[in-house]
Structure 1
Amino acid sequence: MRLAGKVCIITGAGRGIGKATALKFATEGAKVIVCDVTPEWIDETVREIRDADGEAMGFIVDVRDRESIARMVQSVVATYGRIDCLVNNAGIVRDAQLKNMTDEQFDQVIDINLKGVYNCTKAVVDVMLRQQSGVILNTASVVGLYGNFGQTNYAASKAAVIGMVKTWARELGRKGIRANAVCPGFIQTPILSSMPDRVLAAMEEKVPLGRLGRPEEIAATFAFLASDEASYINGAVIEVSGGMSL
């Protein structure tokens, strides 16, 4: 129960890494705020948490829409009086090689993966400053560290959220607020489910552990970073990839 009583907002919590993180935080005692754009996914995550005797609230939040974010934050503060952790996890991919990438593909990824992180963090930072405490966690990617074929937009967005974390760690650390990033490698999420088996096999071949990661393994890292056990970790960029960058 490392997160007992902590109020934690998770974006993109309806599926994949976000859902696994929401479930993990709940088992650690957190009051979980489940945010996503798909009502059915929100309801499912909230129901699973409550069925396991956890505490959760669900909100339809488009991270591009500051009004929907503000409504969620206002409701959370009205209910609990505080916000202890924000996990910026919402993200999309719109892959294409540079020569074929459209402005729409580029802008969609930047608006959600990068501007959405800014929007959500901006909405909670005043609450954390008043408390003189809080944790901001960004889902980045190994792609943001090393690049990837066909992912100009995605790599740019993930490299940028790493830069944001390092900046916030400097700006907010003395105010009691920690900021860190987690860089997953190849993780078994719905994004990968549409890929051919041969592509997945090639991915596994690149990983020294010989397998894809599980969303629960990323969730466990977030839970540690959100807890008081990580009280001296600030501005860190933690790769959770099975060693694929070695």
Structure 2
Amino acid sequence: MANGVLGGKLAFVTGAGSGIGRAACQVLAREGAKVIATDKDEKSAQKTLSLLKSSSATFQHLHFPLDVSRSEEVYSVVKSAIEHFSVPPSIVVNCAGITRDNFLLKLDEDSFQQVIDVNLKGTFLVTQTIARALVEANITGASVINLASIVGRTGNIGQCSYAASKAGIEAFTKTTAKELGNLSPTKLHCREEISAVCFLGKSNGATPTTVEHAALPCGISVAKASRALHRQTSGEMCTECSTRRFGALHRQTSGEMCTECSTRRFGALHRQTSGEMCTECFGIRCNVVVPGFIDTPMTDAVPDKVKEKFRATIALKRFGRAEEVAEVIAFLASDKSSYVNGASIEVIGG
């Protein structure tokens, strides 16, 4: 078992090639996590990987090139990571971000959209994709940490697109905290509109046979209201799902869940006489870190005169370091913050 408060956990970090993302990878690895470092610049992600230290020679950190604004890339990378580690990451850190600064009257539409696509849409795509995988794998107690900015609260001249994207991330996080923190097997069973993506095996080419099943673009057959439910209108368990997960069909003729299946998936039978599943929640926590002015490659382009004006407004009279933000990320990723959900934590120096 790896030492550290994150010993043995798997972390997925976007924007890992520099700045806060790189620092987050280093601190998470120091605390015992296995790290999946992703960045649009693959060489930068490789560099980050070379800086990571693990307490066990058996640990293998991974890196992937990833453009978080492209849903097909997000799905492909998450799927590859799960295939490598056999489990989805239980720590998600969304650090990928860009700026295209200009005054409102001069800012072109494409530049505005690029910032929204990477910063806000990218956070959405990664969070949604991994949350679906966590539900599919019945992983509880996961933690999603998103990166906003104090600019998203105060605004800043020449940064309308960046400020809008970061304000959106904060609102998005508070909403996902309510949804994912309260997500339970019962709600998945009752709400057919929730459709989980299956990452746990390749399709056997089977064709869905009931209205409860759907075929994804990747060809994998999954059930709406996924997990162990996967019911057929005939009263049988989904053949592909049960075969892949449990090594046998575990059919029921009564239309109820197989005792073996539910025991293995939930740690106990949790079967009520009413036929409902246990209401225990997945407990996926979502929090957002709100940095102030942090010394990173993103801020290197800011003129020194402007930097001094910002510095004068900070109580500590200095800019923050990426490592200081990363320490807060590690806290939110750990069980030490087990009752922190939907929180916005400022790291601004006062």
Question: Under a length normalisation based on structure 1, what TM-score does the superposition of the two structures give?
Answer: 0.95
Deviation at 1:52, TM superposition (A): 7.8
Q: 1:167 aligns with which of 175, 188, 200?
A: 175
Over 3 Å off, 4+ runs: 50-55
Q: Does 1:227 align with 2:230?
A: no
On the 8 A contact 2:40/2:66 being kept in 1, the answer is yes
Summarize the Cα distance change of 1:45–1:98 in structure 2 as closer, same or farther, 3 Å threshold. same
Q: Report the identity percentage.
A: 42
On the 8 A contact 1:34/1:59 being kept in 2, the answer is yes
SS in structure 2 at match of 1:180: strand
Deviation at 1:17, TM superposition (A): 0.4
Aligned residues: 243
Paired with 1:100 and 1:76, the residues of 2 have a C-alpha distance of: 41
Paired with 2:180 and 2:46, the residues of 1 have a C-alpha distance of: 34
Give the equivalent residue in structure 2 for 1:56. 61
Summarize the Cα distance change of 1:214–1:237 in structure 2 as closer, same or farther, 3 Å threshold. same
Larger Rg: 2
Deviation at 1:51, TM superposition (A): 8.0
1:166-198 Cα distance to aligned partner (Å, 9 max, x none): 111111112310000000000000112122222
Q: Does 1:111 align with 2:117?
A: yes
Give the equivalent residue in structure 2 for 1:12. 15
Q: 2:97 aligns with which of 80, 91, 95?
A: 91
12-21 vs 173-182, greater mean Cα deviation: 173-182
| Bigger fraction of residues in helix | 1
Give the equivalent residue in structure 1 for 2:321. 214
- Structure 2 regions of 5+ residues with no counterpart? 183-281
Give the equivalent residue in structure 2 for 1:136. 144
Q: 1:82 aligns with which of 85, 88, 95?
A: 88
Paired with 1:116 and 1:214, the residues of 2 have a C-alpha distance of: 24
Q: Does 1:3 align with 2:11?
A: no
SS in structure 2 at match of 1:193: coil
- Structure 1 regions of 5+ residues with no counterpart? none
Deviation at 1:50, TM superposition (A): 4.8
On the 8 A contact 2:181/2:283 being kept in 1, the answer is yes
1:44-101 Cα distance to aligned partner (Å, 9 max, x none): 1111115886641000010011222112111221122131111111000111111111
